[in-house]
Homo-oligomer: A and B are copies of this chain.
Amino acid sequence: MKTLGTRIIACLFAFFLAIFFTTVIEAAGPSTELGACSLPSWNDGAAKTSISEFVATVTKEGPDFVPPAERIAVFDNDGTLWAEQPMYFQFFFMLDRIKTLARQHPEWKTQEPFASILKGDVKSALAGGEKALGQLMMTTHAGMTSEEFEKIVKDWIATARHPKTGRLFTEMVYQPMLELLSCLRANGFKTFIVSGGGIEFMRPWSERVYGIPPEQIIGSSIKTKYDLRDGKPVLIRLPEINFVDDGPGKPVGIQMNIGRHPVAAFGNSDGDLQMLQWTSAGTGPRFGLIVHHTDAEREWAYDRNSPIGRLDKALDEAQRRGWIIVDMKKDWKTIFPEIRTTTSKTVPTRGAVGNVPAQAVNAN
């Protein structure tokens, strides 16, 4: 029989083990409080409740349990995770880039579509239709190496600001959606972006801002070519479309990059319709959600007739398929994250998620 001393030593050892492993878990990954989502920037209501219920359902042992490996959640970016008005933010990048490159291209002063862009007349520049847009895109997105392009985007996004709000573009992400991303990751989900935007335009900042690593970004792309420059391997970005990750392209991109059916999809426009259909089509519990821009005061209000982020067919289909429609005005307590001011300039908060445990941000 053991002595009291031995018992106490065993007890201390067990207690130490408990502390040790608790610490390891906190550092390593998903919260152990499965099913718990505080979502502080969401008002109480059907949307918030449905999220919590879905998360609880798939993480609880039972007929609707989904193993962690299959907890794939896909998010559109423009209009779903960050704003997209008065035009896609990548378009602002393109315009700024034209202005920067114009220094080396004096001929652009008289050459369309560049001349109009330099005069600030976007409408005339785009009168040339798809050809003009393609020319502007390829001039600004191709011809350099992948590493050079990454640096160009990083430098731009560090300082570029939205013309209406004066915020950095990365501060125009939606606080409620950041909380949702964190909630899903804390519950073992792997979160992916599936966007019509350029894959290499998103990657340089998506990990810092959304906690989503580059390998979980799916987007549109141009072709690249492997080459050796002075013996150094590079990937050259070519002026040729590789893949358009929009509309019916989204399920294709999901299959190509993920290879299994997501169980949850989040979008805001008709460009997300097929992604939502594809996600809903799998067997077992599925979750679809559409962000409806209804808040003209705090953000923008638009849907069926907007040239950017048109939401028409998907709005009708949402009702038939039981997808959750988020009414931004009603369902969201805050829209954009609070900006913490340090020294002389504003900085985005880490993952912009002030009140979500840090370990949840980068977990999956």
Please list the residues of chain A having a beta carbon within 8 angstroms of any beta carbon in chain B: 4, 7-8, 10-11, 14-15, 17-18, 21-22, 24-25, 28-30, 32, 69, 72, 146, 190, 199-200, 203, 207, 213-217, 221, 224-226, 228, 232-233, 235, 242, 248-249, 251-252, 255-260, 274, 277-278, 281, 362
Contacts and interface: CB of A to CB of B under 8 A. Distances in A.
Contacts of A242: 256
Contacts of A203: 259
Contacts of A257: 215, 257
A13 to B, nearest CB: 8
A23 to B, nearest CB: 10
Given A17-B22, A214-B258, A255-B224, A277 B146 contact: no
Complex copy number for this chain:
2
Contacts of A277: 228, 233
A95 to B, nearest CB: 25
A243 B208 CA distance: 30
Nearest to A282: B233
A363 B165 CA distance: 43
A6 B215 CA distance: 50
B281 A233 contact: yes
A15 B11 contact: yes
A208 B118 CA distance: 56
Given A199-B256, A233-B274, 14 more contacts: A7-B8, A10-B15, A11-B11, A15-B18, A17-B18, A69-B213, A199-B259, A214-B258, A224-B252, A224-B256, A226-B248, A226-B251, A226-B274, A233-B278
B255 A146 contact: yes
Contacts of A11: 7-8, 10-11, 14-15
B217 A259 contact: yes
B21 A226 contact: no
A213 B104 CA distance: 47
A260 B232 CA distance: 16
A186 to B, nearest CB: 12
B207 A69 contact: yes
A333 to B, nearest CB: 31
Contacts of A207: 69
B24 A32 contact: yes
A232 B224 CA distance: 35
Between A30, A233, A281, the greatest number of chain B beta carbons within 10 A of the residue's beta carbon is seen for A233
Given A21-B18, A32-B24, A225-B252, A214 B274 contact: no
Contacts of A235: 251-252, 255
A203 B214 CA distance: 21
A14 B18 contact: yes
Q: Which of A17, A226, A242, A281 has the most CB of B within 10 A?
A: A226
A30 B32 contact: no
B260 A214 contact: yes
Contacts of A15: 10-11, 14, 17-18
A219 to B, nearest CB: 10
The 3 closest A-B pairs by CB, nearest first: A214-B259, A11-B11, A21-B21
Contact of A215 (B24, B28, B214, B258): B258
Contacts of A228: 277
Contacts of A224: 252, 255-256
7 contacts: A4-B4, A8-B11, A28-B28, A69-B213, A215-B257, A226-B248, A226-B251
